[in-house]
Every structure is written in structure tokens, then in C-alpha cells.
Structure 1
Amino acid sequence: MPLLQSRLIGCAAARRALSNPSLHNSIRRPIIARHAPAATLSRRCYAIDLTSIDNKWRKRWKESNESMKPSDKLADSKDNHYVLPMFPYPSGTLHLGHLRVYSIADVIARFRSLKGDKVMLPMGWDAFGLPAENAAIERNVAPEKWTTINMAKMKEQLELMNGSWDWNRELSTCDPSFYKHTQKLFLMLHERGLAYQAEAEVNWDPVDKTVLANEQVDSNGCSWRSGVKVEKRNLKQWFFRISEFREALLEELEALAKENAWPERVLAQQKNWLGKSAGASVKFPVLAMGHDIRAAIEVFTTRPDTLFGVQYVALAASHPIVAKLAASDPELQAFIDTIPGLPADSKVGYLLPHLRAINPLAYHEETPDATKVSLPVYVAPYVLGDYGEGAVMGVPGHDLRDNAFWKEHHYDAPVRQVLSASEDESTTAMENEPFVEHGIMSEHSGYFKGKHSAAAGEEIVKLLEKAELAKPVEKWRLRDWLISRQRYWGTPIPIIHCDTCGSVPVPDEQLPVKLPDVDWSETRSGSPLESSAEFVNTTCPKCNSAARRDTDTMDTFVDSSWYYARFTDPHNQDQPFSPEAGKTLPVDTYIGGIEHAILHLLYARFIFKFLASTDLLPQYTEETYKSAEPFKRLITQGMVHGKTYIDPDNGRFLKPDEVDLTDPNKPKVVASGRSANIAYEKMSKSKYNGVDPSEFISKYGADATRAHMLFQAPVGDVLNWDEGKITGVTRWLQRLHDQITAIAAEPCEKNTSARDYLAAKHGRIGSASAKELAQWDAEAGIWRDVQRTIASVTASYDEVYSLNTVVSDLMILTNTLADNTTASPIVKREAAQALITMMAPITPAFAEECWDLLHPSSPSIFESTSFPTTDASLAELVRPRVQPCAVQINGKVRGVVNIPPPPAELAGDELRDWMVKEILQTEEGAARFSVGQYDLRAAKRAIPVRGGKTINFVLK
């Protein structure tokens, strides 16, 4: 099929095809504009084939590498711009979410390239991890083979998107040439004491048979991958000491908040996950009957002002006191065994029968009697063993969670409230909900009655500190990063265990420690690497004695915590990247989903700060390395939702063959004939609303698909995908192609710029005829619209989140060109060139095709021109010669006339008189508004508004 089939047929042939069905069917009709239906097509000589245009220019780009020249070496320069979308996991199929994020990245990269920057836009594969291993098990194929096949398939799909990826920098995290340096990074951290092994209670996924980091367990205590309830086990594991950088990770969030560099939502999630809390450690002495327990229960609290309201103490199942009591209490042990199966918000508890706690304030002489009563002690699953001291003080009157627990176990018991919103509400009805804010201490607070709770809290801590029962402390929610995984498909941990020397790092010259060929699909506990004696058994690098390799692999988030740095120097065999290449960092614009806020993004910030403390990033010093950030700007795109059809009778999602779409706007259930309900939902197989981007691109073309995706919603919003709406974009492209073809065919003085042409013409405007003035108005209007569009589009490209307005602005400019056909070819050609260049980042192949029409012998648009800038040098064009003025009589519009814009200095009566004069000097004004009932000269009052664009005359 020819690229532009109609270039081979004339307008007469097109008319014959439309009137002759047999001829009509032999001609492909890829895209026909709605504004130009079949009857109008006779005026057009062709219908564009966008998919053929894509194929043509992708081939040329591949041959000449001119789409956007990749920079092999980016120097430390302000002209660099490193654009990076989060690299994909090679599942085998790209979805519309991929298409959205990678289209956005390519648009930014092409825009920066046209602006003159040296742009880096690499692509690679996040190839290790559980999904690949589990999929390989299901398909009975090695994960390496499955992953390699998927990467090849997805690379083909990515290339269909008209992206300008620098494939010379392609990397895969499962390639030994990459994970050699992941292992080197581990050893660098180990040398600094930031990678260590320790026995700890860990999260165990019984389905995937591996340990999970805290960040990989959801709020319900379930695995983020398998969805199964996570178990707790004590295992010896490897950790990264991310806590060493917690202050820097928190403090630099403020820098990332400046100028909205990072979304507020991401910053809030990271701040919450870091969880810095200033509070107090408080000791509750215990009374143990029949047990040798002497140590006080230590509790961390951020609200010491509520100590008077403590009504119980709760311990985590892992608390040392609980472990001691469980040894002789079978019922307690049985309760502990049930905890892994309970929901995270469970309010069940086990009352320890022989243990009571004493409120430390009980020893103060002015403490109310209620506070001196000994407190029940529970074992409760809602208490976290790894936060604070594994114990909480229960304050039902001032904490929602404690209130729910208390009511579960003491339904009829009163709830004591010890502070309220104001002094005149010092006592609050027990039936009320807990008061969780700061307020005024009540009569139940003894000596502190009437004081503000914040100040009282500080005084209480000082009081107890003297008795060695409390001290101010600071706590963090963040825990060190657990990186050990008991699976095969990951980076082997480069440590050798020797009975004599202990844990010994693998020497650099022995890296990479490669994955062995093992029976990786064997389903059992422990690491699959243990089954390879050849891998496990080795010699100690220090003493040459028999030793064993570590058989765990690393969390795949270790790979993604530094891959962006490897892209700067992907073929370096000796270092993760050279110090010279490292000067390219940080990434200027990073694009990806908000779901990575507290996993990948937090880990990447930690690792980059560590790298900034090494010789690999010489731009940072000992004083500045903790302020280093990997991504200057973060763009989080919204999800793509698909259209679902729902049976109104039972709420069931309908399969495609169960819906009658004869009228797409009124879908019907085939079985019942009833109207189907429509909703937009997250795409999934169970909802039958998935869309294959490759099929969509093959149908409409990559450029139309990209423009449609960007046009439908702001970047940060959820995009409700509706295939039917792409017709608006394809009509626009067809219409613009018509105009470019016509402009290219017009003779034009190519050595004269539009600016010079308009400047010369303005000097003759005083003697111009009415026809010449009309042409001047059209040409000046085009000039003004081009300048406005350049300013608006540039701002939108820079802002990124409003890329949808780029498409709408360019559509408006297209209409301006179409509505001013009498303008000079010089002005129209230059406006068309600006329009094509502005759309090139979004529709690169289509822009190339249009550029080729205007400049048949020139190189690629990305080589031939740069992004347009506004030109304010022609002051006479800033304001139009005439503007429409709506003439109202007694509030109703009776006509519109064209008059000059009023002089800025006129106002009041002077402005009114000037406008009346100008209106009556026009042909329509003289005929309509100087005689009869609409004679303006008889007006009692005239009110000009909107800068002279409207005037209301009040007549009798």
C-alpha cells in the first residue's frame, strides 16, 4: 500500500471512487475528517495513512539515527537533560499504562532536544524478581529464557511507539555485566558498615517462600505480590543500614518540595514512612504474681499529657515478658500461635492473669486515686514489636485504636478522659468519642488541671525524669532495609562464609558471582541456590579453607536503586560508572507511578546519597553528599482506566461478545436486550476492559495514539480510555495535512521572513485598499496567534502536567491557518513551520512528513530546526488593527462591527464618544445605528466594557 495512496490518484479519480462502490472499495480509507465527509472528500486529493507514515519515518530514523541524536558522552553542562521513565519489568506485553509513561518521557526528551539540549533518554529492563521466577515455574521454562524472550517482544512494542530511545545504552538487571556492579555496590556498603547480617523477626511469604521488607507488606499484613497473609519468622538476614541516612532523607524532602519538583503526595508518603516522632520513653513498674519479672515495661509515647488517662498496657507478642510467660502458659502460647492469621487491625487480646502494671504517676502525691489503680496487661496483635519498645499504654479516652480495644474487652467499664477542648468542658460524658487533639487538662489530671496539654506533657516528663521513670526520646518508623531473598532469580549476595574467618566479601576480581544452573523450580523452603553444591562449596579468600557461599539473593529493589546511574556509562566493565560519567547525574526528569513512593523512590534516594559519599560522584563533597538527590524532578502520571460494560440485572462484567455495540453510545446486553451500564475501571482481565497498545497503534498509528492519550486528560489525572474519541485527533491531523500540502504547493519567496514581510507591509498600510487591509488583518492575526501559541505551548511542555493543552492549542492554531487562506504564502508557510515544530515532540513521524512536504531536500526536522521562540519585535502586531465590538441596545446585542482597539489612555465619556464615532464610521454601523429606533445618538447613556469589545446603549 503506498504511503499516500491518493498522491497517485487525482481529485477526479477520488470523485469516481466515491461514486463507484467497486472503485471505492479498492481504495483504502484510513482516516477521513468528520468536518469533511464523503461529499467534501471530492475537494481533497488524498487521505493520509498514518500507520504508513509511522513505518516510513521509523525506518529513516533507524537508518540515519537523526530522530534525536543520542549523546554518547554528556559533559558536565547546563545544556544536558537526562530524561528517564521508570524502566519496565519484562512481563512480555506492554499495556496502556506503559504507553502513557513512555509517551510522556519521549515528548519531554524531544522537546528538550529541539530546545538545543543534549538529551539522554535510555531504556532498559528491570528483569530480576519473583514475577519472572513464578511465571517461569508455571510455564516450565528457565526464568532467564522467559525473560529474554519477553524483553525482545517488548522492545519491538516500544519501537512501535515512535520513541527516540537510546538503545546504545540498553541494560538488563539480570545480565551479569550489570549485576556484577550491583554486587560491587553491596561490597562498598559492606566495607562502610552499611550492609550487615543479623538475626531478626522477619516477614515470611508462605506462598512465594521468601522474606519481605516491611515496605512490601500492606496495611492488612498481606504480601504485596502474592496477597497472602504474611507470617513472622526469626531468620538471619542481610540488611542495608538505611537508618544511617534517615535525617538526610527527611530533611531533603523540603528541598524536593520547592517549585513543586516532586508531587506533594509522594513527599507526604515518604515523610510518613520515615515516621520521625518526638516523645518520651516511660517506665511502668510491674507487679508479677508467681513469676520472676522485675523489669519495668517501657513504653514510647508521643502524648505524655495523656498519662493520667492510661487504663491498660498492651504488649507485642514478641515482647520479652510475653516470651517468658508463654513458656509456662499453654493458653498464652496458643493465642500467640493464632496471631499470624489475624487481620492487622484485630482488637483481640490476651489478658495476662498474673501481671499488673503501675502508672508511674501513681507515686506523685497529688495524683488522683483513679490513676493509682494497678493496670491490666494484655498481649495484643495491634502492638508492633519493631516500633518503640513493643509496648503501648492504652488511653481509651484519647486514642481511637485504644478506645476500640478497651470497648472490646471492657464494654461496660467507664472511659476516663483527662483533657478536653476548653476549660469549661473539663468533664466530658463517657459516651463521647475519644478526644484526640491537644487541649486543656481536666480535673482528672491532679496538679496539672487547667494547663494546656502540650505544656503539661513536657512538665510530666520532667517530673518523671527526676524519678528515673521517663526520659525524652526520638523514634523513627523507618527500619533498616532487609534485602535477603530466598529465591533464585536475583543478584547473588557476594559473601563467603568461613568457619575460621566468618563472613568474607568476595574479592573484586572474582565478580560477578554468577547464578548457577539449578533446579530453581523446586518448591521447598530455603534458597534454591542451596541445591547447587558446585555453587555453594568454595574456598575462603582469606585462608583458603573450605567455605560456603551465601545462598540468598538480593531484593530486586537494590537493582532499581541505582540503575539510573549505570545508564550514564553502561559498558564500563571496571566500575559501576566512571566519575566523569557520574557528572551527568542527577536525572533531570523522572517519570513513573506514585505506587513507588515508599519503595523504589526511597531506596534510590538512600543509595544515591551513599554514592555521593564515594569517588564515583566527585561533584559532591563530605559536606554536601547527604543533600544529593537522584531525581531533580519527579512526574507521576495517572492510571489508565478502561471502559467496562456491566449487566444491570446482576452487576456482572460483560465479555465483548455479550455486548451489542451497534450503537456505541447505547450498548445493550445481548442476552436480555437491556441497556448495559458503563463504568471506567482499572484495566484487568476479569473486567474484560484491557487494551493492547500494539493493536491500537496498528489501527490508528502511533502518532495519533500518542496525541489522543495526551489530549484526553492532564498528565497527573486518571485517563478514561475511550477509543471512539480518537477520531477528533485523526481529523485534526488530516485537516492539518491538507493545509500543509496546499501551502507547500503555493509559490513562495523563501528568502523573505514573515517578520520582514510584515514590517515592510506595515509601512504601506496607510494607503492600503479595503482588500489589502483585510489581507493585512488576516496575516497579522496569524502572526499574533503563532506568538501566543508558542508562549502557551512552551509553558505547557515545561510544566509537563498540562501536555493536554499543547494539543488543544495546536488544534486552535490549525483552525487559524484554515480560516485565513488569503494570507501571504510567506506568513502561512512560516506559521505552518512553527506549528509543525511545536507538534513534533508529540507526533514526530507526522511532523517529519509535513516538514518533508515543505522542505523536500532537507534533513530530519529534529536536525533542521529548533523549537520556536516568541518574537515581540513587531510592536505594531501586538494589537490588532481592528477588533470586533458587540453593540447592545438596552442589554441586547443588535450587531457586531469591527473598530480599532481604543487608545489605552481613554476612559469614561471620552472612551464613549470615541467608540460612538468609530462605530458610526463603519459601513454596518452607519446603516444600522444612525437612524430609526437604534440611533445611537439618541442614547441616554452608553457603557463600554471589556476594553471596547462591548458597548451597551440605553435608549428610551
Structure 2
Amino acid sequence: MITRGIFCKLNNLKIYRKYLPNYRFFSDDIWNEELTIDLKLKIENQWKDKLCKGTFNRNDVDNKFYVLSMFPYPSGRLHMGHVRVYVIADSIARFHRMNGQNVFLPMGWDAFGLPAENAAILHGLPANKWTKSNIDHMKKQLQELGCSFDWSHELATYDPSYYKWTQSFFVKMFQSGLVYSKEAEVNWDPVDETVLASEQVDENGRSWRSNAIVEKKLFKQWFIRTTQFSKALYEGLNDPSLRDWRDIINLQKHWIGECNGYVFDFQVFTDDIYRTILNVWTQYPEHVPLAGFIFIKPESFVHKYYILNHKNVYIKNPITGSKLPILVTDCVEYPDGQDALLAIPHINSVDEKLAKKHNISYLNCVNQNLYLSREEVCKKAKELNSGGYPVSSKLKDWLISRQRYWGTPVPIIHCKNCGAQAVPENELPVKLPLLDMQGDKKFKSLELAEEWVKTTCPKCGKEAKRETDTMDTFVDSSWYYLRYLDPNNSFQPFDKTLANKMMPVDIYIGGKEHAVLHLYYARFFNHFLHSIGLSPSPEPFKNLLVQGMVMGQSFKIKANGTYLKEVEVIKKDKQFFTKDGDFPVTATWEKMSKSKYNGVEPIDTINQYGIDTMRLFILSNVAPTSNRNWNSDLFPGILNWQHRLWLTIREFRKIRNCNDVQMNTIDLSKFEKEEINLKDARNYYVKKTSSNFRKSYQLSVAISKLQGLTNSLRKSPKEVVKYSAEYEKLLAVQIIMLAPIAPHFASALWSGFVSATGRLNQDYENISWEDDVINQKWPEVDIDYIFSLYCLVNNAVKCVLKMPKKKMALLTKEAAIKLTMDQEIIKEYTLPWNIINIEYQSFIDDDTYVFIKTDRKSVSKPKSIDSTIVKNNI
């Protein structure tokens, strides 16, 4: 029987129906329908216009959260890799909006490059028209995914208003000595007719685009002296603000290499005519003035193109100006990645013997006036813009020249009298000429734009020629995150005041294949802009989420490696064979590709399952950082969950609308126990799901937790569904926390929930009943819920202190560290050793961590302690 107190409590609850016009897209009869694909598509069509709004308020940047996803190349069609990265970005953005933050989620287009140019030529269209049509089509596809991008900040790198500033940065680098040109041996693609970076050539010597065998040629090329920032880029990876970079830090460090030497620019001359620069690395800068000659590898380009073709070849010492002879040999050990080595014969006995053997005179290097300190040598080299900065032996400067039309023109004018001159800032942008792509006039190079090439020297006014190389597209994509902030600014690349408040980016999301080159170039660019006062911090990205690739199952004949379509294959006893001929077939998981017949079209999946089902599927089961094997057999699990959620709202509405369960029949003790369990479940799932969104970005785990929450709801008896305010709160929490991932479906569930008969309480904290679910506040953990303060020594948990949220919220960093260090068990683990570092991590509605690092690699358990974990109630 119910006591008088609980009867009065239940009797006083507000039970009524409220009509909310903004939710009544459908009649109430919709909740009697099954959740078919037709109904889901109808729901998504009704809600799509309300969900894609992601407008950023630039007047509220103190509360900003910058979510950046790597912008796509406009190929004309989205693939599942695009779907994954942009759904991840959108889900994270929606979560932070619901937490009251002013989220910036921009989108744009990495629009220059070979594929668009080749496709345009193939179709007989100008590259700009071809690219624009692809952008229009892909933008429509992105909008169909329900992603809340702020399209008012859209940009495209092929727009002159964008590449004007790319050229401006080039000019600044040129004027500061960071940009230089030299003759260099390069990888030449004979099909695409352009230079390729070494990373664009596979292990078989083939081009990454055309698959042609790459040739070696000598060209005069433009370089950016990225190595000048190598030490700053290497040490910047130790910045504690870079959260969750994980193995990317090691990848970046490996690429840059330990800066244990110095590079110097030696000029190469033939017949007293300057030809190129030879970058020589040494661990001992003080030896540069003492160099007697230069060792050169037999396979080096200096040997192949100069020494073999000219009699009078020498190298000029940048510090002393003396002419140094060259010895081509492989009898010495060259530094990793280097083709040249300083010979110091009066210091090194091996060098001395080789000099005598080959009759090389080195008396000019023993002048006592040449004995300079390391610091003096480096200082002089920097003054001469000839190196002198620390770098690893293997890191090279960035070769940015491309010999194709569709790219940012290099803003340089060549004058016979004045040499290479930068185009004045007030004449930027140097626009691409509109080339005729019809008939046989398929221009691939700016060299063919004869009228455009003709110009005058900005220094002497005489006739001159424009540079016909365009820039590597990596240059355009190295600073777009800053232009996003202010894409329509025609007076400066971006508002510096706005950048000071918006940078660094809070989370950067993209593929691991770009975690070395693109990330390295973007970091370099931001370090450079920081050095000239345009960017507030050296590092551009605070947090990285490097998502794995979406893999499709491919089939190929074992005998010859020919790829087959899935319909051409049969399975017998767990092995695959061709349907025609019964030949053995190998089944593997590979990156989706048309040529491998293993791709899945997003539009086909949407038509079959709906947008939100696809969003849930692409995020579920597998962590965002792991590769995703596309297996349609997993769809039933997502479909079943959606069906259970649909039934939950249907049953909630039905029970609230009927009188089968009367208040005077409720067992008070069971009812109160159910409410306690529901409250505990709500706090648990809010805490765990929030952590997955805010801290670990394990969205697959968040989905798993939400599925567990659904199970908790569906176990509730009818009387709890009918009369429990805790059940109502938990059901609201379920729908709200689903909204970032499946916004259309959550909106429909919310409309059914809030318009149901028998709402018990209008005054739940953080819930606005009149608003859509995407405008709700993210739920919070109750102030009396118990949190943990984890105390770790050398990454091992040694003590766990328990306290309610209201006390944890008042715990400062200093107080948390003091509380940790006061624990006896922590003292026993740390007193015998030196404490190297103490770090503190605290998140909203989550546990707090204190990390103590000592100079002992591992920490054993003290004999006086029975357990390594002590639980204290505070």
C-alpha cells in the first residue's frame, strides 16, 4: 500500500497535455507506425532544414570551441572516408554547442591540383569551371549528411581572394630569405608532366597519380627553407598543450629528426658561373671555415650534372669565400640523407690521406684567422643567409615548384638586369590566365600563356618575364584554418585580433595519411606566422583526432592479381573462388577504391537505411582512430537499437495516456528503489557519455553507453513509466545525448516525448521543453554524485580518493596536488626518489587525475602496504 505522504506527492504532480506547434510535423498516429525506411526518410526530410545551422558568433569568441576537419579535395563525389571524418566532426561540434560553447565548424575546398586539371582536360573544360561544378555537387552531398557547417565562412583555395594571401606569405618568406631557388635533381612524371616530391613516388619508382615510371631531371626549383624552423618544430612537440597527439608526435619527430647538427649553403660554380646551392650538414659548425675540400657521393646530382659535364667545377665556402675542390668518392661515411661531407684534412687523418692520394691542396684551410667558435660561425652564416641553424641530417627543405597550370602562381618576376624580383604586394594576386581548354589547345603549363608571361620588372621597369611554376597544393592547405576565421577580408589575410582569440584550433580531425607531410607543413606555416606576429601561438592545433580509413573488402584472382566484383565471386568452405572458372580468389580489406570494386556509395546507403542510421553505423563498434571494415552485416544491430528507441517513446506515450495503472496500487518501497536505480543510471551514463565526447573522443563507446541506457529504460515497470519523474528525466537524457550523433532521429523522438500526455514536471533543470532537442543543454551529473581523484605514480594508480561532485568542483589544481601528496601511500612511493614532474587533469563532470613522475622507471609496492589502491571517503 502507498503511504499518505507518497500518495500526496504523486497526486500533486502536474499531469496534463501541452500542445507544441513546432513539434507537430506529423499527427500522433505516426507513433502507431513501424519505423520503416520510408518513415525515416520522411522524418529526415522534415527535420533537415532545422538541423544544418551552425552559425558562429564572432562577437562571443571568449566562449569559442574551434572544430576543424581536413577540408576535401573537390573530386565531385563523397566517399565513405569523407562521411566518417565529417560525421565525427559534426557530432563533436553539436556536443560542444549543447554545452553552451560558441562552436566554429567551417568547411571549404582544397581546390587546386593535378586530378582536377587532368579531368578538366579530359572533358574539354577549363579547370575552374570543372572544379566549381564539383564543389557545388559535393556541397549538396555534405548538406544531405545533416552536418552543421558554418557555410558563411566557406572558402576555396582556387579563388584569387584566397591565393592572393598565399602569394603574400610567399613574398614575405622570399624577402626574409626563407624562399630561394636552385637547380635540383627532381622526380619527373612523364605523364602528368610535373615534378613530384619524393613522398609522391612509391617504392617501385612510380608516380602516386599516374602510375608512370618516374624520371630524374635537373630543373631550377623554388624551395621554402622549412629546415630553419626544424628545432622549434621538433621541440614544439613537447608542448604539454598538445593533447591526444599520441603516436603522431613520434611520427612528426621521426620525420623532422633530432636536430643534432647544422646545415650550411655552399654555392656550386662551373667555369665561375653560379649554378646551384649544395646544402652541407655537419655536427661541427666550427669546422666550416677550416674545410679543405668537399666529399661528394658518386650518385649525387652535383656529380652527374656538373662534375661530369664541366672541367672547372668548385664549391664556394660560405664563411670564408674560398674555392673548395671536390672529391667524388664513396670511401667515406656520409651522414644519413646527405650527399656531401666536409673534409678537414689537417684535423682528420683519413681526410688528410685522401687529400694526398688525390693530390688535393688544402693549405688555404689552416690559416689561423679561420679558427672561429661555433657561435661565431653560425652567426655569420645567418647574417649571410647561408644556414647556420640546427637541423637533422635527413630533413630537406620544402620543394614547392610544380610545372602545371592549375595551382597558385609563384609571384616572382625574372629580370635580366635585376634577377628574381618579388611581385609588389599591391599587385597581388597574380591571377591565373584563363586558358583555352578546347580542341588541341590543352594547356598544362603557364609557359604556353605567352602574353601572360610578358611583364615589366618592378625594380627597373624593363621588359621581364613572370615565373611559370605554380606552388605545391600543400602550400595552400598549410594556413586555411586561419583564413576560415575571416574569409571575406580583402585587406588582410585574417583579422589578427580575432585570430589571437580563436587560435589554436581546439580539435583537428582528419586522416592519418596526412599526419606527417600536411601536418608538418601546417605546423611550419603557423610557426612562421607566429614569428612575424600574425599567429598568437607557435602550434596551430591543440588536439588531434586522427581517424582510421574506411576499408572495403576486395577480391582478386590469386594467379594474376586481377580485381573482381563481389558478384563475380562465390564462397566455398570459407574460401573464395571465381564463379566463372572456379579459380582461387584472395579476399582482403583495403582502402575503398573504384578500381578495386570495393567502394560503397554514401547515397546508396542513405537510400537503403537513412542518414542517421548511416551516421550511427559509421561511428559505432570501432574507435574513430581505428580502420573501419565496412560490413553491412552489422547494420541490423543499429536498426534494432533505433527500433527499440522508437518503441520506448511509443510505449511511454501509450502508458501516460491510459489509466491501467493507478497510484494507490503502487508499492512504495519498490517504486523508491526503482527511482534510486534510475537516478544512479542517469548520473552514470551522463558521466561516461560526456567523457567519451569531451575527453577520449571514443564515440563508438558513447554509442555503446547510450545503448546500455536504452536497456535500463526498457527494464522499467509500467508504474515507473507512468509516475516516475526520474524515468522522465532519464528518457530526456537518452534523447538529448543521442542528438549530436543522430540529430534527425533524436528530433523526432523528442517531439514524441515532449508532446506526450502526462508530463510530470515542467521545471527540470537544464531542459527547455519548448525548444528542439538540438537546442537543449547537455545533461549534467548531480552535485551529490561521487567522483574520484586518481593519484598515479609513474602512470600506475596508487590511490583513489572519493568525494561528491560539489566538493570536486571546488578542488583547485594546487589543492588536488597537495591532497595527493599528503596521502601516506603516495609518500612511500615518492620519498625515496626525485619527483621529475607533476601533472593535473580535470574535466567537467568527470574524474580528476594527478600524475606524478619520479626518476625511477617503475614503482614497486611498499611492503607495508597491502593494496596499491586506497579508497578514502572525503
Q: In 1, are the aligned partners of 2:226 and 2:398 still within 8 Å (CA)? A: yes
In structure 2, relative to structure 1, the CA distance for the partners of 1:655 and 1:389 (3 Å cut) is same
**Pair 1:127 & 2:111 matched:** yes
* 1:567 match: 484
* 1:389 match: 340
**Pair 1:814 & 2:814 matched:** no
Letter in 2 for 1:272: H
2:144 to 160, 163, 167: 160
* 2:597 match: 688
Q: Deviations over 1:777-817 (max 9, x none)?
A: 22221221111111111111123442111111111110111
In structure 2, relative to structure 1, the CA distance for the partners of 1:734 and 1:546 (3 Å cut) is same
In structure 2, relative to structure 1, the CA distance for the partners of 1:492 and 1:699 (3 Å cut) is same
Q: In 2, are the aligned partners of 1:317 and 1:323 still within 8 Å (CA)? A: no
Q: In 2, are the aligned partners of 1:644 and 1:680 still within 8 Å (CA)? A: yes
Q: How does 1:119-198 map to 2 (within 5 A)?
A: 119-198=103-182
In structure 2, relative to structure 1, the CA distance for the partners of 1:377 and 1:509 (3 Å cut) is closer
Secondary structure of 1:786's partner?
A: helix
* 1:635 match: 545
Secondary structure of 1:791's partner?
A: helix
In structure 2, relative to structure 1, the CA distance for the partners of 1:548 and 1:679 (3 Å cut) is closer
Q: Deviations over 1:81-125 (max 9, x none)?
A: 100110000111111111111111111101111111110001110
* 2:678 match: 782
1:30 to 36, 39, 42: 36
How many residues align? The count is 667
Quote the offset at 1:604 in angstroms. Answer: 0.6
Q: In 1, are the aligned partners of 2:164 and 2:428 still within 8 Å (CA)? A: yes
Quote the offset at 1:742 in angstroms. Answer: 2.8
Query: In structure 1, how many angstroms separate the alpha carbons of the residues matched to 2:282 and 2:198?
Result: 20
Secondary structure of 1:858's partner?
A: coil
* 1:262 match: 245
Query: In structure 2, how many angstroms separate the alpha carbons of the residues matched to 1:840 and 1:128?
Result: 36
Q: Deviations over 1:225-259 (max 9, x none)?
A: 33434333332222212122111011111126x67
* 2:41 match: 51
Q: In 2, are the aligned partners of 1:314 and 1:391 still within 8 Å (CA)? A: no
In structure 2, relative to structure 1, the CA distance for the partners of 1:272 and 1:72 (3 Å cut) is same
Q: In 2, are the aligned partners of 1:280 and 1:300 still within 8 Å (CA)? A: yes
In structure 2, relative to structure 1, the CA distance for the partners of 1:189 and 1:315 (3 Å cut) is closer
Q: In 2, are the aligned partners of 1:212 and 1:482 still within 8 Å (CA)? A: no
Query: In structure 2, how many angstroms separate the alpha carbons of the residues matched to 1:837 and 1:125?
Result: 32
- After superposition, the CA RMSD in angstroms is 4.1
* 1:924 match: none
* 1:845 match: 744
* 2:725 match: 826
**Pair 1:316 & 2:234 matched:** no
* 2:617 match: 708
Q: In 2, are the aligned partners of 1:487 and 1:527 still within 8 Å (CA)? A: yes
Query: In structure 1, how many angstroms separate the alpha carbons of the residues matched to 2:734 and 2:59?
Result: 30
Q: Deviations over 1:435-473 (max 9, x none)?
A: xxxxxxxxxx9xxxxxxxxxxxxxxxxxx9x9x99x999
Q: How does 1:749-898 map to 2 (within 5 A)?
A: 771-822=667-718, 823=720, 824-856=723-755, 858-863=770-775, 865-873=776-784
Secondary structure of 1:631's partner?
A: coil
Quote the offset at 1:680 in angstroms. Answer: 2.5
In structure 2, relative to structure 1, the CA distance for the partners of 1:81 and 1:5 (3 Å cut) is closer
Quote the offset at 1:495 in angstroms. Answer: 1.9
* 2:505 match: 587
**Pair 1:251 & 2:235 matched:** yes
Quote the offset at 1:668 in angstroms. Answer: 7.9
1:551 to 456, 468, 479: 468
**Pair 1:614 & 2:552 matched:** no
* 2:408 match: 491
* 2:808 match: none
Query: In structure 1, how many angstroms separate the alpha carbons of the residues matched to 2:326 and 2:225?
Result: 37
Q: In 2, are the aligned partners of 1:587 and 1:632 still within 8 Å (CA)? A: yes
Q: In 2, are the aligned partners of 1:316 and 1:390 still within 8 Å (CA)? A: no
Q: In 2, are the aligned partners of 1:74 and 1:581 still within 8 Å (CA)? A: no
In structure 2, relative to structure 1, the CA distance for the partners of 1:551 and 1:667 (3 Å cut) is closer
Query: In structure 1, how many angstroms separate the alpha carbons of the residues matched to 2:560 and 2:529?
Result: 57
In structure 2, relative to structure 1, the CA distance for the partners of 1:267 and 1:226 (3 Å cut) is farther
* 1:540 match: 457
Q: In 1, are the aligned partners of 2:336 and 2:393 still within 8 Å (CA)? A: no
* 2:649 match: 740
In structure 2, relative to structure 1, the CA distance for the partners of 1:191 and 1:860 (3 Å cut) is farther
Q: In 2, are the aligned partners of 1:518 and 1:528 still within 8 Å (CA)? A: no
Letter in 1 for 2:41: T
* 2:383 match: none
Q: In 2, are the aligned partners of 1:299 and 1:388 still within 8 Å (CA)? A: no
Identical positions, percent: 40
Query: In structure 1, how many angstroms separate the alpha carbons of the residues matched to 2:695 and 2:39?
Result: 32
Secondary structure of 1:641's partner?
A: strand
In structure 2, relative to structure 1, the CA distance for the partners of 1:183 and 1:723 (3 Å cut) is same
TM-score norm. by structure 2 comes to 0.69
In structure 2, relative to structure 1, the CA distance for the partners of 1:778 and 1:216 (3 Å cut) is same
Q: In 2, are the aligned partners of 1:654 and 1:687 still within 8 Å (CA)? A: yes
Secondary structure of 2:620's partner?
A: helix
In structure 2, relative to structure 1, the CA distance for the partners of 1:299 and 1:739 (3 Å cut) is closer
Which has the greater radius of gyration? 1
Query: In structure 2, how many angstroms separate the alpha carbons of the residues matched to 1:649 and 1:238?
Result: 46
In structure 2, relative to structure 1, the CA distance for the partners of 1:178 and 1:204 (3 Å cut) is same
Quote the offset at 1:316 in angstroms. Answer: 3.3
2:608 to 696, 699, 718: 699
Segment of structure 1 superposing worse, 772-781 or 242-251? 772-781
In structure 2, relative to structure 1, the CA distance for the partners of 1:667 and 1:218 (3 Å cut) is closer
Q: Deviations over 1:471-529 (max 9, x none)?
A: 99974322221111111000111222223333222223322211112256899999721
Q: In 1, are the aligned partners of 2:230 and 2:259 still within 8 Å (CA)? A: no
Q: Deviations over 1:332-353 (max 9, x none)?
A: xxxxxxxxxxxxxxxxxxxxxx
TM-score norm. by structure 1 comes to 0.63
Quote the offset at 1:550 in angstroms. Answer: 1.4
Segment of structure 1 superposing worse, 160-169 or 509-518? 509-518
* 1:601 match: 519
In structure 2, relative to structure 1, the CA distance for the partners of 1:651 and 1:189 (3 Å cut) is closer
Query: In structure 2, how many angstroms separate the alpha carbons of the residues matched to 1:723 and 1:874?
Result: 40
Quote the offset at 1:689 in angstroms. Answer: 1.3
In structure 2, relative to structure 1, the CA distance for the partners of 1:530 and 1:385 (3 Å cut) is farther
Query: In structure 2, how many angstroms separate the alpha carbons of the residues matched to 1:858 and 1:556?
Result: 48
Q: How does 1:898-917 map to 2 (within 5 A)?
A: none
2:429 to 488, 509, 512: 512
Secondary structure of 2:252's partner?
A: helix
In structure 2, relative to structure 1, the CA distance for the partners of 1:782 and 1:674 (3 Å cut) is farther
Quote the offset at 1:139 in angstroms. Answer: 2.3
Letter in 2 for 1:867: W
Query: In structure 1, how many angstroms separate the alpha carbons of the residues matched to 2:587 and 2:217?
Result: 46
In structure 2, relative to structure 1, the CA distance for the partners of 1:603 and 1:811 (3 Å cut) is same
In structure 2, relative to structure 1, the CA distance for the partners of 1:664 and 1:128 (3 Å cut) is farther
Name structure 1 gaps, 5 residues minimum. 15-27, 32-47, 282-297, 303-312, 330-354, 358-375, 394-444, 446-463, 621-627, 750-760, 762-767, 876-956
By relative contact order (CA 8 Å, sep 6+), the higher-ranking structure is 2
In structure 2, relative to structure 1, the CA distance for the partners of 1:190 and 1:817 (3 Å cut) is same
Query: In structure 2, how many angstroms separate the alpha carbons of the residues matched to 1:143 and 1:526?
Result: 10
